[in-house]
Amino acid sequence: MTYNIVALPGDGIGPEIMEAGLAVLKAVAAYEGFDYEVVSCDFGGGAIDTFGMPLPTPTLKAAKEADAILHGSIGDPRFDNEAIRPEQGLLEIRKELGLFSNIRPLKIYDALKAVSPIKNVENVDFVVVRELTGGIYFGKHTLNENDAEDVCSYTKHEVERVAHAAFKLARTRRKKVTSIDKQNVLATSKLWRKVVSEVAKNYPDVELHHQLVDSAAMLFITNPQQFDVIVTENLFGDILTDEAAAIAGTLGVMASSSKGDKVAFYEPIHGSAPDIAGLGIANPIGMISSVAMMLSDTFGLHGAAKKIEDAIEQTLKDGILTKDLGGNATTQAVCNGIISRLDY
């Protein structure tokens, strides 16, 4: 069987980290002996230039037919004041593919414990399950001269399905779910809390806690050890996972998977980093770790994924660090470091 992978390199550092991710994939495939094909498609700002839209029809078609999708990052300041923006393509593809469950693990590499701004990161190990196709991102946005409005809505069904994903994940871990909301103010959060509590009844072996988002943001810093699986709505999940990335030492190492009923989508959680794009110094680990997630989750190659994660850990231990981690290694040097440390 040949795995059919669609690659969306995107904008800014996207193509640089994608090149690194695909190089690791190539090396692992050679060792493991599996066949795969990568089709690279236009997406984001580059696609606006060529097609006038960030998610061109051929890209969406290829993505729908793929076994898995790898995304680098999109976003380009050139479009900051334009009606059509790269980010719209990302929201559209998430919606079109029904990717309602965005899984963002906080993994603290041993070698980065000293880099974390948190003094004690021993036993910090949690996963954020971020709802990805609802909430304020997908409500009506109205911008007038003197006022503006963004509508936030959730249906019971939307909350239920992502809650089930979180409880199922918790069963494979420490059996604890923390649901984060703002139910003291928001109607969508009141619904969220009620529905999550109802879903919890199907998982009596899993402990459920509710936490308001503002104090949750504080607890990430003061007691991150208490979290196992976090489930939260789209915007809260976006913000909290960048906060989680700070605990990990850098945004550059955070990987993610986005799942629905069909094809899964793998991407680092960071953006196109326009401030360092083109310099060859982006940290490729979030992308490479996303490749590992794809191999494990979609293709069942758990051993291969572990080899990649171990090689990442060893590369960091050996001090091959990009600038975001205080080093001066290039993207390519980190990538080569990881490939040469694959233990086959």
Catalytic residues: 137, 182, 214, 238, 242
Binding of ligand IPM by 196 (CB under 6 A): no
Residue with smaller CB distance to ligand IPM, 228 or 238? 238
- Shortest distance in whole angstroms from residue 242 CB to ligand NAD: 7
The span from the first CA to the last CA of the chain, in angstroms, equals 22
Binding of Mn ion by 233 (CB under 5 A): no
Binding of ligand IPM by 310 (CB under 6 A): no
User: What beta strand segments (E) does the chain contain?
Assistant: 2-10, 35-40, 68-73, 101-106, 126-131, 141-143, 148-150, 176-181, 207-212, 229-232, 255-259, 264-268
Q: Which of 27, 269, 288, 312 binds ligand IPM (CB under 6 A)?
A: 269
- Shortest distance in whole angstroms from residue 75 CB to ligand IPM: 6
What is the C-alpha separation between 313 and 214, in angstroms, rounded? 33
* Enclosing H/E stretch for 248: helix 234-248
Binding of ligand IPM by 238 (CB under 6 A): yes
What is the three-class DSSP state of 266?
Answer: strand
Task: Count CA atoms within 13 Å of residue 195 on its CB side.
Answer: 23
* Enclosing H/E stretch for 29: helix 14-32
Binding of ligand IPM by 281 (CB under 6 A): no
Residue with smaller CB distance to ligand IPM, 254 or 301? 254
Binding mask of the shown chain, residues 205 to 244, with x at each position contacting ligand NAD by CB under 6 A:
----------------------------------------
Site for Mn ion in 237-266 (CB under 5 A): 238
Binding of ligand IPM by 76 (CB under 6 A): no
What is the C-alpha separation between 229 and 176, in angstroms, rounded? 6
- Shortest distance in whole angstroms from residue 319 CB to ligand IPM: 29
Instruction: Give the residue among 46, 49, 40 at the shortest CA–CA distance from 8.
Output: 40
Angle at 324 between CA 320 and CA 325, to 5 degrees: 45
Stretch that binds ligand IPM, among 31-39, 84-92, 164-172, 306-314 (CB under 6 A): 84-92
- Shortest distance in whole angstroms from residue 105 CB to ligand NAD: 16
